[in-house]
Structure 1
């Protein structure tokens, strides 16, 4: 037996490393999105911010995706229920629910409840038969979630006992459910559809769903304040957390599965305070460092452990096979 790894094993290891790097970059963009959202909360209403985010993203991304979208449009139309589900849960659902939640709940509640996302993804993946959670993955989720809980409790676990579930907390729970559905639905995306076409179609579905909601805010007199800062904020959320992060997330889920990808969301309670310290003048406490070590340990446990059952192969009944 050769002591050298096989080409397939090397390729798999390389793919995992690239996916982990892509996920780390994705969560970096998303964590800074929270900081930007908080910075303009008083200047841009939440539904309007979500609509402007995806309108801008679609306008920027469409020139790059147009030829793929035009070619794959028949396949997308045949798979319209899947497309509708992905667009509503990711673009229209998750992001809007988060913006609404941050107006109605405390940061400690929002971050803790949002950190249940990897668990929600793992449960939904198991129920859908996409991916079974292994013991090491379950241990990684538990260790990482413990680190998140320690961070949001400010280093005092007794604070968790005083949490109260309110309307904002329910919005966050709804957001995690939306993202869990979307992450699992990615495994059943239309076959042979280019990733750019799929993302552009999801943007279009979500933007159309958000348009009447944003219009209701405008009719009620809640209009955005136009300043260089708000324009820059909309530009950032339209490009980095919307276009680049979604492309990296979709590829990573396909490469390593929703369970492992979902656990990287636990990096947000580390990165968001870091951005707040650098750009908002907030202080980074010891509890962030202790909790961060636990989160990283959970990531290592989960990323190194093989899945108990691989995902089923992609279905090919949505479009005829053809060369790309």
Structure 2
């Protein structure tokens, strides 16, 4: 029972970390640093951390074989490099609430990718869920509201966020065999190293030319939050919780993340919840719920926690 409480605490904390990022990142971007600069700091910091910890905790554990090494490269590209570049580019252009809602599309992508790559069964309710979720996401991406003056390029930003959720959903399918076969730090060290090679060419200039000497204390704290909490701690807690959490429990926390993001964004004055966004959220949540339903007499692979990621 005590371990169950720890799992709930870990999953809630991960959801809270990701939810807060939608609003906190808006303080940093684009006034103090561009999105690619933030991504570079995050990924390089995490790559160094996981590389050092891997050497200490599991120095003998190494990826073996051409297939696993190629899979790790694909995971680093989809789950770290491209994923983060798309996410922060999109968040820079759209509102925190829109970005958090579109992130919940990832479980739908997981089901589609599993059907294509792992020959998983797609039932009629799942087909309906994919259609409903896609319709809700399409409405959200194309919607124009009173905040159009604040986010004039919101449609492009929403498209980036949707692409981010798509590549991250693909990553969740690709990384599962590696997580089951190797130590978590072995996999994380490798994929963040690959991600660094993807991100640094895009963001090194923004990271080096930022006017760090004029950063207020709260901006330093928010950048530290994105590197330490959002990247390192969230990945550690998430991987630990995935060993014990059921798919149903993970589904609850998938829905919780945008709810928390809305509460934080509204309370900080970063965004406003409208009836239009609420209706689009209902469609997306309904689609994810239908997709996440377990087919009869078929074992369902665990649906990883998405948030991610961020």
TM-score after normalising by structure 2: 0.71
- Residue 13 (structure 2) pairs with residue 38 (structure 1): no
Show the 5 A alignment for 1:79-158: 79-105=68-94, 110-129=99-118, 131-134=120-123
Superposition CA RMSD, Å: 4.6
Distance 1:153 1:279 in 2: 25
- Residue 196 (structure 2) pairs with residue 211 (structure 1): no
CA shift at 1:237, angstroms?
1.4
- Structure 1: gaps (5+ residues): 1-9, 157-163, 313-324
CA shift at 1:67, angstroms?
3.0
Distance 2:131 2:6 in 1: 25
Distance 1:266 1:272 in 2: 11
The answer (yes or no) to whether the contact 2:104–2:254 under 8 Å persists in 1 is: yes
Q: String of CA shifts for 1:176-211, please: whole Å, max 9, x gaps.
A: 221011011022327631012211221221122211
Paired residue secondary structure (1:189): helix
The answer (yes or no) to whether the contact 2:19–2:100 under 8 Å persists in 1 is: no
Distance of aligned partners of 1:65 and 1:122 in 2 relative to their CA distance in 1, 3 Å threshold:
same
Q: String of CA shifts for 1:89-131, please: whole Å, max 9, x gaps.
A: 1111212211111233455654554332222221111111264
Paired residue secondary structure (1:70): coil
Paired residue secondary structure (2:181): coil
Distance 1:125 1:91 in 2: 20
The answer (yes or no) to whether the contact 1:124–1:181 under 8 Å persists in 2 is: yes
Aligned to 2:263: 274
Distance 2:65 2:200 in 1: 22
Distance 1:64 1:53 in 2: 16
Rg comparison, structure with higher value = 1
Paired residue secondary structure (1:187): helix
The answer (yes or no) to whether the contact 2:129–2:291 under 8 Å persists in 1 is: yes
- Residue 225 (structure 2) pairs with residue 242 (structure 1): no
Distance of aligned partners of 1:277 and 1:166 in 2 relative to their CA distance in 1, 3 Å threshold:
closer
Distance 1:149 1:22 in 2: 32
Distance 1:244 1:36 in 2: 17
Distance of aligned partners of 1:234 and 1:26 in 2 relative to their CA distance in 1, 3 Å threshold:
same
Aligned residues: 293
Show the 5 A alignment for 1:1-324: 22-41=10-29, 42-75=31-64, 79-105=68-94, 110-129=99-118, 131-134=120-123, 166-189=155-178, 192-217=181-206, 226-250=215-239, 261=250, 264-280=253-269, 305=294, 309-310=298-299
The answer (yes or no) to whether the contact 1:47–1:213 under 8 Å persists in 2 is: yes
Distance 1:286 1:241 in 2: 30
Distance 1:70 1:248 in 2: 21
